[in-house]
Amino acid sequence: MATRAQPGPLSPAGSAGVAALATGGVASCPGPGRPGLLQDETLGVASVPSQWRAVQGIRGETKSCQTSSIATASASAQARNHVDAQVQTEAPVPVSVQPPSRDDIPRLAAFLRRVEAMVIRELNKNWQSHAFDGFEVNWTEQQQMVSCLYTLGYPPAQAQGLHVTGISWNSTGSVVACAYGRPTVPAGGLYSGEVLVWDLSRLEDPLLWRTGLMDDTHTDPVSQGVGAGQLQLTEGFALVMQQLPRSTKLKKHPRGETEVGATAVAFSSFDPRLFILGTEGGFPLKCSLAAREAALTRMPSSVPLRAPAEFTFSPHGGPIYSVSCSPFHRNLFLSAGTDGHVHLYSMLQAPPLTSLQLSLKYLFAVRWSPVRPLVFAAASGEGDVQLFDLQKSSQKPTVLIKQTQDESPVYCLEFNSQQTQLLAAGDAQGTVKVWQLSTEFTEQGPREAEDLDRLAAEVAT
């Protein structure tokens, strides 16, 4: 709705003008030709089109742009010419040594006479010096870590669950041989010549097999189950309890038996007639092939049996599994057994010089190093090989090698006397691992032999 006001004449200022504004610009009284009061009036809708929008619509246009085409080019190159060149050193020209002229000989003789006393004095000082004692030139590459070079196995034996029970290097150190078996399946011989096999894991009826008495059965007692072609028995020895030297207290064997079982043997490197025996009773015995005393036993034999024991050492806490004589000292040897201890003995006294507990389980093997007088290795029932350097510590191993990850036992080990950086070990998984030793285990330290002599001279307390 829109209101339209009628036009009228302008009013003068003042009260009359105010009244005119209040009444819409006219007098309050109507008159001829003069409109009345403001009134509402309804008019039609008026619309005004936008000229600006129309103009903009007409002016609108669409534009586009495009980059110019990119120029590309391909080029290739190929070497067409080549040249070969060679160099060759010239043949060396021998340097001719000119003999001293006759004029120089008197001066040379005078010089030699003048410095002779000084040279002799310095040579005498060097001859008496100990600065380079124990030094040996070694041109081989230094090896700082113990690493596994080879992992060897025999699948048919491993498929049967057999263990590596023995290792041996050949004379050149290039071939390693191993024996397979089961420590819980021992073989034994009877006095009658029969061979028996037992399975100790079977609590009832452990006997697996026996040869019986046949034409091919041994006619003499079987004392060891190792075959080496055709062997001829020339000498025999027997360990009888009553004939053992009374250098230590020994418990009487149960069931009234008098024979003592031997479990390990090692020959001296200095006396071919001397050997050390490990026994089931846990005590080592010093024995001699030159013994002439007859053994007091009724054991049948095709050759006379002699009593070889000369000295008895203090025992372990269980059977001995391994003994090893020192290659650097005639009186020292090591022993290891089921009590987890390694004993270092002197052949001149019964008690051990030292005792080391290396394992909470059995120790199956111990060996002296062939090149280091104070180094030895031991194989444990916890799956590791322990290397000891007595020059560094007499209480803990210098290096502990983890042979098996499941802690299955390591039954045997051997140093390589030719390739002295190699050590082989066999385990219950049927595996032989060849370890490369670090340089510290293959190079003899200064005065190491003197330290070994000092150790051997100690008196056990």
As a whole number, mean pLDDT of residues 323-327 equals 96
Q: What is the pLDDT of residue 19?
A: 46
Burial class of residue 379 (count of CB atoms within 10 Å of its CB; 0-12, 13-18, 19+): buried
pLDDT band at 81 (very low <50, low <70, confident <90, very high): confident
Find residue 415's DSSP bridge partners: 423
Q: What is the pLDDT of residue 154?
A: 93
As a whole number, mean pLDDT of residues 138-142 equals 63
Q: What is the pLDDT of residue 395?
A: 84
Q: What is the pLDDT of residue 190?
A: 59
Side-chain-side CA neighbours of 40 within 13 Å: the count stands at: 2
Q: Could you tell me whether strands 384-389 and 320-325 are parallel, antiparallel, or unpaired per DSSP bridges? A: unpaired
Q: What is the pLDDT of residue 58?
A: 59
CA dist 324 and 430 (Å) reads 24
Q: What is the pLDDT of residue 433?
A: 96
As a whole number, mean pLDDT of residues 87-96 equals 75
DSSP string, 57-72: HHH-------PPPPP-
DSSP string, 164-195: EEEEEE-TTSS-EEEEEE-TTS-EEE-TTS-E
Using alpha carbons, list the distances in angstroms from residue 152 to 19, 66, 155, 424: 131, 75, 10, 10
pLDDT band at 142 (very low <50, low <70, confident <90, very high): low
Q: Could you tell me whether strands 305-306 and 236-237 are parallel, antiparallel, or unpaired per DSSP bridges? A: parallel
Most confident region among 41-45, 86-90, 390-394 by mean pLDDT? 390-394
Q: What is the pLDDT of residue 260?
A: 84
Side-chain-side CA neighbours of 180 within 13 Å: the count stands at: 15
Assigned token pair, 95: 């340097």
Strand, coil or helix: 111 = helix
Q: What is the pLDDT of residues 360-385, one digit of tens each?
A: 889 999 999 999 999 999 999 999 99
- Lowest-confidence pick of 180-189, 264-273, 343-352, 394-403: 180-189
pLDDT band at 271 (very low <50, low <70, confident <90, very high): very high
Helix (H) / strand (E) element for 426: namely strand 422-427
CA dist 351 and 284 (Å) reads 11
Closest CA to 386 of 334, 313, 449: 334
Using alpha carbons, list the distances in angstroms from residue 61 to 51, 54, 57, 64, 85: 18, 14, 9, 10, 75
- Where is pLDDT greater, at 139 or 414? 414
How many Å from the N-terminal Cα to the C-terminal Cα in the chain? 133
Q: What is the pTM of this model?
A: 0.61
Residues 278-303: b if buried by 16+ CB within 10 A, e if exposed: bbebbbbbbbbeebeeebebeeebee
CA dist 316 and 319 (Å) reads 7
Q: What is the pLDDT of residues 199-237, one digit of tens each?
A: 665 667 777 667 665 544 444 444 444 333 345 677 788
Q: Calculate what percentage of the chain has a pLDDT beyond 90.
A: 41
Q: Could you tell me whether strands 399-402 and 384-389 are parallel, antiparallel, or unpaired per DSSP bridges? A: antiparallel
Q: What is the pLDDT of residue 259?
A: 78
Assigned token pair, 410: 């390591």
Q: What is the pLDDT of residue 227?
A: 36
pLDDT band at 3 (very low <50, low <70, confident <90, very high): very low
